[in-house]
Structure formats: structure tokens, C-alpha cells
Chain A
């Protein structure tokens, strides 16, 4: 008698845990019942992301780089599963290489994006980039895995934490990625993944007063309404992410300038 397979239940990823939607709802995507996150789930995810922020932002850049690199390692060991969840092996390789590329940026940002400023007076003055805080990401529909990774990696490498609305039609890649994230040493709450209906979740995140920035890449051309909501607390808005580059990171950074007198 052949063995009956143990199937996976596809759930959300919030605060390092895998809860069902508090609403109990699911929807069907890619032949699976996937959790349909509610507004309350989105708010819970923001809370988890805010809770995770001080520790993740406070980790040494070297440490963040290593944790991201370990995420790439975990993706590599799950390459087969990940490949089945997206367009295949090549997309997985692209996504893994991207994580490795961003991992290397963690301890280089202040040198490339910051510096010391030659003020006209007896002061030492320097500028350093810092993470902006909690970032909401509307991931693009496709490519299901690499599209997601290309938005998450530049956000978290600097110390931000993320609440991601995954591809609605192709959510399984995100849920496979969640398995890699959960075993990667990324502290719980750094990446929170919500599957469900974008129209339902996006306005909650865009208007949330404890979200500092929003990446609207997955919102297509219909961003105006979300941008209006984002103004409620002066969110940083990225309308459409670009190619892999350090500028994708800097879009979610603040610059802090510190002065101190020089004297005897």
C-alpha cells in the first residue's frame, strides 16, 4: 500500500509564527487553500514588525549581512521546493544570488551613502544612513519569487522590518520562502508575509500610523488612492521599485547628521 503524503497547510507568516488568518478565511490559489489575511492580520503584522525593529536595526551590520547570507543558504537547500512554486530553477537561482548580493551591502552602506561634512566651524559633523522603520511592501504579482525577493532584500538589509502583501494569484512562492526565512536566523517579525486580497490589505497598510514607508511596486498604476492614505503620517512612498542597486536600499533609509564641537 502506497504511503499517503503529509500535505502542507499554507498559512500566514507573522512574528516568526505561522498562524491562520484570525478571520478563519481562506481563498483558492494555485490549487491550494491559502490563508486570506484580514485587516486585523495586517495590523498584527505591523505590530510584530514594530516589535522586531529595535533589535534588528540595532544588530551589527556584519551580523545582518550574515543573517541575509544564511537566508540565501536556506533558499539554496530548498531550491527544489522553491522552483516548483515559481517559474523554475533559474528564477530561484536569480533570487538566491540577489539575496547574496544585498547581504554584502549591509556593512557598506554608511561608507557609500554617508560621510563626514566639512562644516565651516569648530565642529565634527557626520551623516549616517539609518533604517526608516516598518516598511509595507506590495509585492508584484510576477515573478512570484524573484519579484518578492527583489523587494524584501533591499528593505531589510539596512535594518528595516517588513510587512509584505504577497502576490495574490501566485502566493505559494512567498509561503515557501517563509520556510527559508523561519530557519534563517532572521528574528521573528523582521519579515511578515500576508497572503490574501491586495485591495483589502493595501489601504490598511497605506494608512497605518505605525508604518513608516510603503513600496507600491505591486500596486501597478493604481497608486493614487494609496498615496493619499500614505500622507496621513508622511510615509516615504516608493511608487515602483527599480533594478537591483544600492538605491533600492537608500529609498528606505533616513539620514542622520550628528554635530559635536571640537575643542580642548
Chain B
């Protein structure tokens, strides 16, 4: 390194760049002190008489009290959904059904700033992501499926699609409103009614969504929201009057749900965990690949089931790539989710932070080398610096288990065949990435990857028209696109 000259000092390294705080205004969200359950079109106090607090993971500040639905509450919600299904929703002219969904899409767009801020407050994700990804995609999802409502016979020629009935839906905490949209939009478009359980740590946007349902004048009971914890979800899955269960979450819970529903004939879709390989060949556009790797694993703090958490890099460029990647990591800004310059927000909960710590400790123990850029983490709240492990063995826990945090494991390969074999060497099969400028190689690799979504020279892209879902233990059924309708219909023939 050359000695520091005054000129060099005048251009500080990215590390030293000072950013003025650029906080998004919080006052666009006015939270109630307490949120009841949304059953039959109105907020009701839980029969369980239990409430729990939802807090901000970035400040540990108490945001609101939320009802904890018990078995009786879940039963009332399912009854309300059944009533609404039989009393008009399933026989409503599909073109009219569509218009309710179009209304909801528009209302989400209109209230997107409020919802984005609430999402970042409650879940800890950077405002630029909730504002630019979660919210536009959630609105687009309703808009897309709205259009399907009166066109289902064209999606399933010769099959006479019919609604199933009542759907019980359980969603995770990583994309709270977006996952709600993924679940509710196709269900309603196909003429079903729903009981949805938001994640324990992120109920707020679903509760604001209940207000949107009212503003849209959606018939009471078509959408019911039951907040709570794992026990609420268990009550919902066990309810005998469901026709459909859709779950997004961990593979462990997904298996338990599949067992629970064995022999019942309830239609099931599962979108579960992943351990995606992001394969980088030596002929890739290296700087673009580095951006893709960063987006692949640090997007939404790595709380993404399809995150590119296993970097498979061709041996000949491994050193160069890792050097570039480490340099890039130093520019990632960790901190206040509501700051518009923040790249990496808060870890969603204490529990999740503990899980990340546990797996990172295991990685170190198993001999992998850890790198974290120097960064100041806030004192309050739950935080984890962006992390890269090199020298990771295939068998290491950090190469096999889903960490669901901002932690990347780097492995190497020599030949395309070896890359594919390593990529597929996991019980999961949700997503994968491939980086090369050679078209034939992209298609060769994409064909052989056992994963439901393959991103070539890009990563973590989502669209309502694009089916999403896994192979193997990452679940079954697809969400999004024409293929996302099938889980919500039965066929007369």
C-alpha cells in the first residue's frame, strides 16, 4: 500500500463515509393499543382472553398488544369463513369477485407508505426493501389474481374448476404482508374464503390489512385473521372444517402439518426451507456476480427461504471473488430499519438471533474461517453483522442447515458436473443461482439443478406471474402465476 498522501485522505474509503440519518417518518402509522381478532368482518376480543405484545426488533420497543387466538377463537373464525363461503362468496359472479380483489390491490397501493413503515417497524426489515419490494409486490399479487377470478376455465381447459371451500393459511415473519398476499389473493380469486394466521412476531401489517378489507367492503367472513403463536396455528391446522391448508415456514413444522393432515383428504401446499446454492463460474461477469451474491444472502437479513446461502465458486476465481466480496461487505450499512440508507436491518427476533449465533458458533467450531466487516451494531435490538465463512466443508452444519440469517458459506468446485452435484447435495430444493456468461452452460446447469426456481445471472427476483415453490423437502405446490391457482381449486372432472 502506498503511503497515505493528503490527496488519498481526501477520498475516504467507503467505511469512513458518513451518511446523515435519513429516517422515514413514523407518523404515517397510527397504531392502536390493542388489536383483537378479525372474524366475520369485525375486530373481536379473543375468547381465550389472552393477549401478547408485538415489539420492534430494532428497538425492543413495545408496539401494540395483539390477541392470542385459542381453539374457540379459531373455531369461530372457521365458522365465519364457512358461513361467508356458503352465503354468497362461492356463488358470487366471478367478475364481481374480481372487482373486490382489484379494490384491495388499489387500497394497498394507496396505503403502501403506511404499510411499508409498519412492516419495517414490526419486522425489522430495511424500509427500502419494504417500500420497494414487499409493498409493490403485494399489491401486484392482488392485481394479478384479481384478473384470474373470472377466467379460471381458461386456466384449466376441460376441467371445470370449482372453489374448495375454507382455506386455513399460516404465514411466516420474513415477508409478512407479501406472504399474506401470496396466500389470500389466489384463494379468494378461486372463490374460497380464508382464515389466515400471521406470524407471532409480525402481526401488524395483517391487522392493518383487515382495515383494507373493510374499506374494500369485502363481505364479512371472506377474510378472517387470527393472530397468535404456534398453538394458534396448530388449532387452525387441526380444525375439522377446513378444505385446504397452505403453510409457509420451516420444514420441521411443514412435516408436522403433513402428518397431521394424513388421511383427511384436506388439500395441502407447503412452502418450506431452503439452502440454495449460488454457483459462480470463472467466466461470469465478476462484479455483477458479487452484487448478486450480496443480494442473494443479505437481502432481508438473509431471512429468506430461497436465500443464496451456499456460494459455490469455481476454484480458479475463488480467491479473487472472495476478496471482492469482503470489500463489498464493508459498504453494507447495518442499522435502523427506518433509515432509507440502511441495507441490513434488525434480526426479526431474539429467538432467531440465538439460532444464528448457534449455527455460526458451530461453523467456527467445525473449522471454517469467519469474516465480518467492521461495523457498529446498535446497542438495543437484535443485530447480526453480515458474515462470510470460507473453507467450509460440505458436511459442515453451516453448509447443510438453513441459517435464515445474513451468513454466507463459501465452497469451491472445479467442473460444472461437480458444481451441480454439490448444489443438489441437500434435502432441500427451493432455489438456486448460476453465474456465467456462457448461455449453453446456464441452460445445462439449470436443467440439472433440482430446485423450483433458478436465477441465472440474477437472484432473489419475484413476480406475481412467476410460479414459486420447491422440490424435495422444500415443499410442494406452487404460488404465483397460473400454476398458483391449482392449489385453490377442485375439479368436476
Q: Which of B170-178, B337-345, B398-406, B450-458 contacts A (4 or more CB under 8 A)?
A: B450-458
List 6 contacting pairs A-B, 8 Å CB cutoff, sorted by A.
A127-B466, A226-B262, A256-B446, A258-B454, A260-B458, A261-B457
Using CB atoms and an 8 Å cutoff, list the residues of chain A in contact with chain B.
Answer: 115, 117-121, 123, 125, 127, 132-133, 212, 223-228, 230-234, 236, 239, 247, 254-261
User: Complex Cα distance A157/B456, Å?
Assistant: 28
User: Complex Cα distance A80/B36, Å?
Assistant: 71
**B261 proximity list for chain A (CB < 8 A):** 227
Q: Which of B258, B456, B465, B478 contacts A119 (CB 8 A)?
A: B465
Residue from A118, A230, A234 whose CB has the most chain B CB atoms within 10 Å:
A234
B453 in contact with A254 (CB, 8 Å)? no
Q: Which residue of A lies closest to B481 (CB)?
A: A117
A127 in contact with B454 (CB, 8 Å)? no
With A120-B463, A234-B255 as contacts: A228 and B458 at CB distance below 8 Å: no
The minimal Cβ–Cβ distance linking A255 to chain B, given in whole angstroms, is: 5
Q: Which of B140, B259, B456 contacts A228 (CB 8 A)?
A: B259
Closest 5 CB pairs of A and B: A224-B263, A227-B262, A231-B258, A119-B463, A117-B465
**A212 proximity list for chain B (CB < 8 A):** 472
A259 in contact with B456 (CB, 8 Å)? yes
With A258-B456, A259-B453 as contacts: A132 and B259 at CB distance below 8 Å: no
From residue 217 to 259 of chain B, which have CB atoms closer than 8 A to chain A?
A: 251, 254-256, 258-259
With A231-B259, A234-B475 as contacts: A259 and B465 at CB distance below 8 Å: no
User: Complex Cα distance A231/B475, Å?
Assistant: 10
Given contacts A117-B481, A127-B483, 19 further A-B pairs with CB under 8 A are A115-B482, A117-B463, A117-B466, A118-B465, A132-B471, A227-B261, A227-B262, A228-B259, A234-B270, A234-B272, A239-B265, A247-B491, A254-B471, A256-B446, A256-B449, A257-B453, A258-B453, A260-B457, A260-B458
Q: How many A-B residue pairs have CB under 8 A?
A: 111
User: Complex Cα distance A230/B259, Å?
Assistant: 8
B463 in contact with A234 (CB, 8 Å)? no
The minimal Cβ–Cβ distance linking B465 to chain A, given in whole angstroms, is: 4
**B454 proximity list for chain A (CB < 8 A):** 256-259
The minimal Cβ–Cβ distance linking B217 to chain A, given in whole angstroms, is: 28
From residue 425 to 452 of chain B, which have CB atoms closer than 8 A to chain A?
A: 427, 442, 446, 449-452
A234 in contact with B258 (CB, 8 Å)? yes
Contact with A along B463-490 (1 / 0, CB 8 A): 1011111011111101001110000000
User: Complex Cα distance A207/B469, Å?
Assistant: 23
The minimal Cβ–Cβ distance linking A242 to chain B, given in whole angstroms, is: 9
Q: Interface majority SS on A: helix, strand, loop or mixed?
A: mixed
B466 in contact with A228 (CB, 8 Å)? no
A256 in contact with B452 (CB, 8 Å)? yes
Q: Which of A132, A232, A261 contacts B458 (CB 8 A)?
A: A261
From residue 288 to 327 of chain B, which have CB atoms closer than 8 A to chain A?
A: none
Using CB atoms and an 8 Å cutoff, list the residues of chain B in contact with chain A.
Answer: 140, 159, 251, 254-256, 258-259, 261-265, 270, 272, 427, 442, 446, 449-458, 461, 463, 465-469, 471-476, 478, 481-483, 491
**B469 proximity list for chain A (CB < 8 A):** 255
**A127 proximity list for chain B (CB < 8 A):** 466-467, 481, 483
Q: Which residue of B lies closest to A222 (CB)?
A: B263
**B468 proximity list for chain A (CB < 8 A):** 257
A259 in contact with B140 (CB, 8 Å)? no
The minimal Cβ–Cβ distance linking B400 to chain A, given in whole angstroms, is: 15
The minimal Cβ–Cβ distance linking B261 to chain A, given in whole angstroms, is: 8
B481 in contact with A234 (CB, 8 Å)? no
With A228-B259, A234-B473 as contacts: A255 and B456 at CB distance below 8 Å: no
The minimal Cβ–Cβ distance linking A54 to chain B, given in whole angstroms, is: 9
User: Complex Cα distance A231/B461, Å?
Assistant: 29
User: Complex Cα distance A225/B259, Å?
Assistant: 9
User: Complex Cα distance A133/B265, Å?
Assistant: 24
User: Complex Cα distance A236/B475, Å?
Assistant: 9
User: Complex Cα distance A120/B11, Å?
Assistant: 39
The minimal Cβ–Cβ distance linking A33 to chain B, given in whole angstroms, is: 35
User: Complex Cα distance A262/B256, Å?
Assistant: 41
**A228 proximity list for chain B (CB < 8 A):** 259, 262-263
Q: Which residue of B lies closest to A231 (CB)?
A: B258
The minimal Cβ–Cβ distance linking B181 to chain A, given in whole angstroms, is: 15
**B140 proximity list for chain A (CB < 8 A):** 120
